[in-house]
Chain A
Amino acid sequence: MKVLAMYNIKGGVGKTTTAVNLAYLAAREGQRTLLWDLDPQAAATFLFRVQPRVKGGSRALLTRGRSLAAALKATDFERLDLLPADFSYRNMDLELDDTKKRARRLGQLISTLSDDYDIVFLDCPPSISLVSENVMHASDLLVVPLVPATLSLRTLDQLTSFVAEAGGHQPQVKAFFSMADRRKKLHRDVIATLSRDHPHVARTIVPALSMIEQMGERRAPVPAFAPRSRAAICYEQLWAEVRPS
């Protein structure tokens, strides 16, 4: 079982849309797929039309032995299940702090599902916290959406340093440009510079497209409701770049 985390310290960069679309593509190609919506805002849970509720909240999962399997929900798509978000996840840092091996608890929980799933996607909240540290330890790959802005390089450097300093198991990092607007000179310059100088940047660029914004209204992955759209093709290209071999 492989674990891919959609992660960025910043919010509003396209983590959730990426997690939802890539998880859908993994399931579509036949992999038994799980998406864990770790963000208390519950955007991925909303997109899959699932109620953002986990019985007992994060405390039950992290400290009281409630199994992850009992909290799983099927989505409307074959082979794709969701572990929904819950508002209590806002306190996940505190709950983790109370556990043994507090930086590895999420990884321990995820590994209990290794017989049921081939791939797990984590949609992470934007922060650097104990949850992030858990995500580092649990993941094989961090997929990092970057909005092409002057601070993107700094964000990516902060992230790679954080990974390097995490110690123990270190996931690979793959960043990609998200919400890019080729009409903006700044976007073009940042993409050119960072793509040239940074080894962790993917070739795929996901532009700011209205089809991606429509996910909120359609409440479904782009390749499901607009399989021939440019947005769907971009996510397919990104999936081809980050898919575990």
Chain B
Amino acid sequence: MPRSSAPPYLVADRAQLLGPPETHGDPITAEAVTAALTDELSVGFDPASVVQGAALDTFDRRLAAAGLFLYHVSDPAGQRLVLISEKDGAPLTVPTVDARWPALVTALPAGPVRDALAPVATIRALMVLDEQTHRVRRGALRDEDQKILVRFELVEQVTDAAASTWLSVKPLRGYGNEARNAVRLLTAAGLRPVQPAPVAPAPDETGVRPLRIGRSAPAITLLVAEWSAYLAAMRANLPGVLDDVDTEFLHDVRVAVRRTRSTLKLGRPALPEGVSERWEPAFKWLGDLTTPVRDLDVYELGLPEMAGWLVAAEAADLRPFADQLRRHRSAARRSLVRGLRSARFRTTLEDWADTLAGLSGPALAHAPKLAVGTLANRSIGRAYRRVVRDGAAIGPGSPAEALHSLRKRCKELRYALELFAPVSDDTAGKRVVADLKELQNVLGRFQDSDVQQQTLYGFAEQMRAAHAPTRALLAMGELVAHLGVDQRRARADFDRAFARFSRPAGRDRIRLVRVGR
């Protein structure tokens, strides 16, 4: 059965869709429908109304991945959100007034639609991915008492140059025979049964693609492919950062920048002269540009959880702190936007794209002839040895900086493992990453608690100078105490996590990863 382009919000539950006759393909008209049905029953159509529908999802298509499809539908009857689930047939609908996109789930009207979306979209904003306009004529087949037996919707796609039309025949409870009879007469008149369009929107095109590459291939090929994917991710997320759609756009830009920086370091032996010298500082600048807003985002996102830590104070006591965070974030965002709109930023990305193009072509001749497998062995081995060396040196009296520095080494190893995953032993690589993740989690908890305590002291100083309420400062004191306990716990967990990572089995796996496939 052919598919129609009917969006799912215009196809009533259990309705049969009919398309125009195959022979001439002319649009379906109300007159043609009326003529096709028997004289005993009357058919009537209302004047056309315009229905606008916007398909919504998060930037990373979380809803579609979870089998959910959300639409903002506007027609003369009003505006509503329609949520269709692949699993459950009946759509959920909630009326809405003046919805503006992008919007976080928390901005949606309370009810089952929001409840279904909240755990899926979480902190990502819902954005318009596609908009369509249709003209719809509603009609009905009535008996001699003028009772409606079957409902029709004659739909014309306004935005489609080919002006596709279809007729939806909706059976009413207790009148299934009449609906079947109507479909029989309409198909006898030439209309064709069609299936609704699949609900899945176009897949995300911004993610990092898997690469097929052998160990003997030039290392530069792998590096350029990775950097190109990171550059695409930076560019794709940039508009969302500038519009402040949600916090994840900036986070994803930062991940791409950080991975680029780290790969530049790892790739030094495979690069022509001058490349790392020029681009490592350039991407450090980019990373630094984005750091202040991201740090404040982390605070703002964590506030609800922090409020849950309070014992003596109440959540409302943290309001002055939240206001302070908001003010700082606004100022930091202004600087960030200035930086992202600057000529320096623009030329950095443009020049980097040119450099990548050069590295795939003419500059390739000047690059050291280093195979991926060789670079992988060298990079992973070096990063692993540094983690083990620095970790073993940490004792009960080591300063916090030693653990922070070890965290950086762990990140380098993690990036190396991920970068060279296409040419490494899968099973061994996954196990090493699992152990490494555990160690990184412990170090992350330790450092985050430490940094957050220091930052809280800084904020408290500023707020005290600005005569903030005592209750706010005391509540922040409770947060510092909680973070202090967390930090001590993380320190206590470190020895076990490091011992697990550096045990002989871990070393054997690293050897396997380095040998590769």
Contacts and interface: CB of A to CB of B under 8 A. Distances in A.
A73 B175 contact: yes
B87 interface: no
Nearest to A69: B173
A219 B142 CA distance: 14
A196 to B, nearest CB: 41
B147 A81 contact: no
Contact of B148 (A71, A72, A76, A81): A76
B146 interface: yes
A178 B175 CA distance: 35
A71 B175 CA distance: 11
Nearest to A84: B174
A50 B147 contact: yes
Contacts of B175: 73-74
A74 B150 CA distance: 10
B145 interface: yes
Contacts of B143: 49
B296 interface: no
Contacts of B148: 74, 76
Contacts of B172: 73-74
Contact of A49 (B145, B173, B174): B145
A39 B501 CA distance: 79
A74 B143 CA distance: 14
Interface in B121-160: 143, 145-148
A73 B173 contact: yes
B173 A74 contact: yes
A221 to B, nearest CB: 14
Contact of A74 (B145, B146, B174): B174
B173 A81 contact: yes
B113 to A, nearest CB: 13
Interface in A186-245: 219
A181 B317 CA distance: 61
A219 B147 CA distance: 10
Contacts of B145: 49, 219
Contacts of B146: 49, 219
A72 B172 CA distance: 10
Interface residues of B, number: 9
A73 B148 CA distance: 11
Nearest to B170: A74
Most chain A C-beta atoms within 10 Å of own C-beta, residue among B143, B147, B172: B147
Contacts of A81: 173-174
Nearest to B147: A49
A84 B146 CA distance: 17
A76 B147 contact: yes
Contacts of B173: 72-74, 81
A28 B321 CA distance: 46
A215 to B, nearest CB: 15
A44 to B, nearest CB: 14
Interface string A53-79: 000000000000000000111101000
A62 to B, nearest CB: 19
Interface in B55-95: none
Interface string B175-194: 10000000000000000000
Nearest to A83: B174
Nearest to B175: A74
A48 B172 CA distance: 14
Contacts of A73: 172-175
Contacts of B174: 71-74, 81
A71 B147 CA distance: 17
A64 B143 CA distance: 30
A71 B145 CA distance: 19
Interface in A112-126: none
Contacts of A49: 143, 145-147
A115 to B, nearest CB: 12
Nearest to B173: A74
B82 to A, nearest CB: 15
Contacts of A72: 173-174
A64 to B, nearest CB: 19
Interface in A25-60: 48-50
Contacts of A74: 148, 172-175
A116 to B, nearest CB: 10
Nearest to B172: A74
Nearest to A70: B174
Nearest to B144: A49
A121 B363 CA distance: 81
A81 B172 CA distance: 10
Q: Which of A50, A72, A76 has the most CB of B within 10 A?
A: A76
A73 B174 CA distance: 4
Contacts of A219: 145-146
A51 B148 CA distance: 12
A104 to B, nearest CB: 26
A50 B147 CA distance: 7
A71 B172 CA distance: 13
A117 B143 CA distance: 26
Interface in B330-387: none
Indicate the member of B143, B173, B175 with the most A CB atoms within 10 Å.
B173
9 contacts: A49-B145, A73-B172, A73-B174, A73-B175, A74-B148, A74-B173, A74-B174, A76-B147, A81-B173
Please name the 10 residue pairs, one residue from A and one from B, whose CB atoms are nearest each other, closest first. Answer: A73-B174, A49-B147, A74-B172, A74-B173, A49-B145, A76-B148, A72-B173, A72-B174, A81-B173, A74-B174
Interface of B: 143, 145-148, 172-175
